[in-house]
Amino acid sequence: MTMTADTSTRYREFKMPDVGEGLTEAEILKWYVQPGDSVVDGQVVCEVETAKAAVELPIPYNGVVHELRFEEGTTVDVGASIISVDVAPGSAEPAPAAPAPVAADVAAEEPAEPAGRTPVLVGYGVAEASTKRRARRGAPGASVPEQATAAETAGAAIQAEMNGHAAPTVSAAPTRSRPLAKPPVRKLAKDLGVDLATITPTGPGGIITREDVHAATAPATATEPAVAPAPAAVAPAPASTPVAEPAAAQAVGAATGRETRIPIKGVRKATAAAMVGSAFTAPHVTEFITVDVTRTMKLVEELKSDKDMAGLRVNPLLLVVKALLVAIKRNPEVNAAWDEANQEIVLKHYVNLGIAAATPRGLIVPNIKDAHDKTLPQLAEALGELVSTAREGKTTPAAMQGGTVTITNVGVFGVDTGTPILNPGESAILAVGAIKLQPWVHKGQVKPRQVTTLALSFDHRLVDGALGSRVLADIAAILEQPKRLITWG
């Protein structure tokens, strides 16, 4: 007698979770599985983008993919079923209807994207994006126990990464059809065009680390390329100033001969709404100052050879960050927020310093928590981590919340300065222009000096002209005479 499984319990539906503090929708960027693929609890099945960040989603079931409910590029409401899994494969049943067409086999290569580099962090560049997708999980040739062991270990690493904990260790690296690596490491390998299967892992339990990926690309990336020119991103994220879309993103739009229409969604949609709200809520005032930073540039070169800064990224932005923090220490009233509901000014006794970053998905502002308590080497390390995370597209919503003031370095694009728009909820934003060799009166004589222009926008409800002027003048004075970092700091 033929037994038929109860279809009400045989198929489990995985619904779009709320991956970011009350967000109502997310776009499916990429499927990593197809109907018929075996999956295990904890295995990443897709990548989605919310209004704040891109996130990889692990499936909570063991079984075989039955159907993908939505195609790549579809925006889905939180709570909607996005994938069904057959948790009792092999049971007799009528043949299921053919699923809706989705992305091509994940083992296939995507069309090549145009070459070039897009600035990720203002002041930094990114590697070219890889065109390879991940290899399908559970590849033929591996036994079922081996597949499960590998995927379960990978799932544990993924869950640990999402929870902010270290990945669990195992006694030995299991035989596996899919290399073990955390989501950020996989994204880094994808961006650098590295096949994880070719890397020898050095992490605990046979997990591939970030260092392993970089080691595999060391010959090709020994010299960091220059940042590609791009439109000035004066406003931080969220920001109303458009940032040039990568060619790959433009290709997604609907082309009609002379025009291309690109859907506004995800980070860019949230950015636009937030900047409109900021521009028409907080009364902006912007002040400018041009300053000789020749001594600061000399200090940067000295710090690069300092053993205490070995292995850290040292550049002018680092000293601008320190100068702003010292200026806030001397003028603490500038570090505040306006509470409209309670009709109060909230003075902040900490500085969460935002750094505007231009990414392929839009402009974002991750911030360095408690930057006021960090030493110069610690600030350099924090900036480096912020760069790497932004480059991998893994900046979390938490990293973009709670900022108090922001820096946007438009000088990397050759721009002299601009009038930046405040990040919502913050009191001030400093724009740093290009540092150029210019004729300057120095000690009574006209000499070539390194000169830049700074612009400080502030909320005039919180900061009056005198306070804003003192802050900007202090920043300029420090950059002109960096020894003030010691005498004032």
Looking at residue 250, the DSSP 8-state letter turns out to be H
If phi > 0 it is left, if psi is from -120 to 50 it is alpha, else beta; for residue 21 that is left
How many other C-beta atoms lie within 10 A of the C-beta of residue 23? 16
∠ CA(144), CA(147), CA(152), 5° rounding? 125
Distances in Å between the Cα of 422 and the Cα atoms of 65, 280, 286, 318, 407 are 46, 11, 10, 21, 10
CA–CA distance, 237 with 274 (Å, rounded to integer):
8
CA-closest candidate to residue 35, choices 110, 98, 108 = 98
- Strand pairing report for 445-459 and 344-347: unpaired
Beta-strand runs (E) in 220-335: 254-255, 260-261, 284-292
CB 274 within 8 A of CB 401: no
- Report d(CA 165, CA 182) in Å as an integer: 12
Residue in the structure block whose two tokens are 């919310």:
50
CA dihedral (413, 419, 422, 426) positive or negative: positive
Cβ contacts of residue 120 below 8 Å, gap of 6+? 126, 357, 358, 359, 387, 390, 391
Contact yes or no for 379/318 (Cβ under 8 A): yes
Active site residue 460: yes
User: Which residue from 319, 329, 265, 260 is spatially nearest to 294, judged by alpha carbons?
Assistant: 319
Q: What is the CA radius of gyration of the chain?
A: 25
Q: Among residues 209, 139, 136, which one has the least CA distance to residue 175?
A: 139
Cα 4 to its chain centre, rounded Å, is: 48
Q: 417, 392 in Cβ contact below 8 A?
A: no
| Three-class SS state of 324 | helix
Q: Which helix (H) or strand (E) holds 26?
A: strand 25-31
Which of 66, 214, 372, 460 is catalytic? The answer is 460
Beta carbons of 468 and 334 less than 8 angstroms apart: yes
Q: Which residues are catalytic?
A: 460
